[in-house]
Amino acid sequence: MRYNNPIIKGFYPDPSICKVDGTYYLVCSSFQYFPGVPLFESKDLINWRQIGHCLTRKSQIQLGTVNSSGGVFAPTIRYNNGRFYMITTNDTTRQNFYIWTDNIYGEWSEPIYVDQGGIDPDLYFEDGKTFFMSNGTDDNGIGGIVQCEIDIETGGKLTPSRSVWQGSGGRYLESPHLFKVYGRYYLLAAEGGTEYGHMVTYARGDSPSGPFEAYPKNPVLTNRNLGGYELQGVGHGDLIQDHEGNWWLFHLGFRQIGRWLPYHHLGREVFLTPVTFGEDGWFTAGDKGTSLTSFETDRIFNTVIQQEKKIFTFENTDWNLDWCYLRHPVAEQYLLELDKAKLKGTEVTLDVPASPTFIGIRQKDFYVTISCDVSLTNGEAGITLYMDEHHHYDLAIRKDENGYKVIERLNIGDIKSIENEVDLGSENHATLVIRASPERYSFFTHADGKDILLGTAHTKYLSSEVAGGFTGVIIGLYAYGEDSLAEFSKFKCEYV
Would you state the pLDDT for residue 450? Answer: 87
What's the average pLDDT block by block, 10 residues per block, for the chain (496 residues)? 97 98 97 98 98 98 93 97 97 94 98 96 98 96 97 98 97 97 97 97 98 98 96 98 97 96 98 97 98 96 96 98 98 97 97 97 98 97 98 97 96 97 95 98 91 97 98 98 95 98
Would you state the pLDDT for residue 185? Answer: 98
Q: Do both 356 and 264 map to the same domain?
A: no
Q: Is the Cα torsion angle 137, 143, 145, 149 positive or negative in sign?
A: negative
Q: Do both 264 and 361 map to the same domain?
A: no
The CATH number that applies at residue 222 is 2.115.10.20
- Chain centre to alpha carbon of residue 429: 33
Q: Do both 279 and 384 map to the same domain?
A: no
**Annotation says 238 is catalytic:** no
Domain boundary among 272, 296, 320: 296
At 217, give phi and psi (nearest 5°): -110, 25
Closest listed residue to residue 480, CA positions, set 379, 394, 392: 379
**Annotation says 174 is catalytic:** yes
Q: Are 231 and 210 in contact (CB under 8 A)?
A: no
Q: Are 429 and 417 in contact (CB under 8 A)?
A: no
Q: Do both 179 and 320 map to the same domain?
A: no
What global pTM score does this model have? 0.97
Q: Do both 320 and 206 map to the same domain?
A: no
Does residue 221 belong to any structural domain of this protein? yes
Does residue 358 belong to any structural domain of this protein? yes
- Chain centre to alpha carbon of residue 212: 31
Q: Do both 50 and 194 map to the same domain?
A: yes
HEC string for 450-488: EEEEEEEEEHHHHCHHHHCCCCCCEEEEEEECCCCEEEE
Domain boundary among 296, 329, 347: 296
Distances (CA, A) of 284 to 164, 205, 276, 401, 467: 23, 17, 5, 66, 35
Q: Are 129 and 148 in contact (CB under 8 A)?
A: no
Would you state the pLDDT for residue 472? Answer: 98
Tell me which H or E stretch contains 44: none
Would you state the pLDDT for residue 368? Answer: 98
Would you state the pLDDT for residue 448? Answer: 79
The CATH number that applies at residue 445 is 2.60.120.200
* Neighbour tally for 202: CB within 10 Å: 27
Would you state the pLDDT for residue 92? Answer: 87
Q: Do both 396 and 285 map to the same domain?
A: no
b/e sequence 52-75, b meaning 16+ C-beta within 10 Å? bbbbbeeebbbbeebebbbbbbbb
Burial class (CB in 10 A: 0-12, 13-18, 19+), 119: middle
Does residue 420 belong to any structural domain of this protein? yes
* Neighbour tally for 338: CB within 10 Å: 7
Domain boundary among 273, 296, 319: 296
Q: What is the dihedral of CA 166, 167, 169, 170, to 10 degrees?
A: -120
Range of the domain at 93: 2-296
Q: Do both 204 and 265 map to the same domain?
A: yes
Q: Do both 262 and 387 map to the same domain?
A: no
Q: Do both 235 and 378 map to the same domain?
A: no
Does residue 304 belong to any structural domain of this protein? no
The residue from 174, 230, 380, 487 that is catalytic is 174
Does residue 302 belong to any structural domain of this protein? no
Q: Do both 245 and 360 map to the same domain?
A: no
Terminal-to-terminal C-alpha distance of the chain: 23
| Amino acid, res. 365 | D
Does residue 117 belong to any structural domain of this protein? yes
Q: Do both 371 and 281 map to the same domain?
A: no
Would you state the pLDDT for residue 491? Answer: 98
Does residue 305 belong to any structural domain of this protein? no
The residue from 14, 122, 269, 487 that is catalytic is 14
Would you state the pLDDT for residue 110? Answer: 98
Instruction: Look at the chain and report how many structural domains it folds into.
Output: 2
Does residue 464 belong to any structural domain of this protein? yes
Residue by residue, DSSP assigns 117-153 as: -SEEEEEEEETTEEEEEEEEE-TTS-EEEEEEEE-TT
| Amino acid, res. 183 | G
